[in-house]
Structure 1
């Protein structure tokens, strides 16, 4: 488990830092990106095992980023986060390969459990 890599993609600094700390303490090698360009550079260069991806990111939205991640590294697991009840976007994200989604504000323990479960496989 210690060699697993987690990438957090969110334009909100506070959420990135919180999740970075939480998953770092879990023993994961953790990366963070504030936008799609940074996220895709990390996916290409560091091959994270799992990406926690916000749905609403300025410039390139979560669905576009998800599509690109799946092109670069189809085996990468993705968990979506959304602050809105965008059921159509969530449905599309699932069809594109996202495993699950969390609505903000999310329960950090539930998110931690979901990540641990996915990376234990």
Structure 2
């Protein structure tokens, strides 16, 4: 089974490093980007299976990045990371195709479970 690729997009370095460590240890290939342009370059080059996308990123915000990701490849799964109180943006993100969101500070184990479910759940079902 090929390693699933996870792209972490957040302007906070600490969050990117934390999430990369978590998902590397789960056996995923991880990529990181601090802004929309870098994120979309990785989406085009690497076609990640899942993107963890922060809503508030300087320059191109999360919704804009989400639109571009889905335009490049609608199959890519996207989970949003939001600050408290961004409900309108969350609704919009869901309309644009985001699977779910986590509000910061999020529980890292809950996020791991969600990512594993979205990436491995579907492939495990096909094996039986």
Partner SS for 1:22: helix
Residue equivalent to 1:101: 101
Alignment check: 8 A CA contact 1:7 1:31 kept? yes
Residue in 1 that maps onto 2:63: 63
1:84 deviates by 2.5
Show the counterpart of 1:11. 11
CA contact (8 A) 1:43 1:69 kept: yes
Number of residue pairs aligned between Structure 1 and Structure 2: 121
Residues 2 and 28 in structure 1, CA contact (< 8 A), matched pair in contact too: no
Name 1:50's counterpart in structure 2: 50
- After TM superposition, where is structure 1 displaced by more than 6 Å over at least 4 residues in a row? none
CA distance in 2, matches of 1:2, 1:100: 24
TM-score, with normalisation over the residues of structure 1? Answer: 0.98
CA distance in 1, matches of 2:46, 2:86: 30
Secondary structure of 1:81's match?
strand
Structure 2: which 5+ runs fail to align? Answer: 123-128
Any gaps of 5 or more consecutive residues in structure 1?
A: none
Distance 1:34 1:19 in 2: 13
Deviation at 1:85, TM superposition (A): 1.4
The structure that has the greater radius of gyration is 2
What is the alpha-carbon root mean square deviation over aligned residues?
A: 0.8
If the length of structure 2 is used for normalisation, what is the TM-score?
0.93
Moved more, 81-90 or 94-103: 81-90
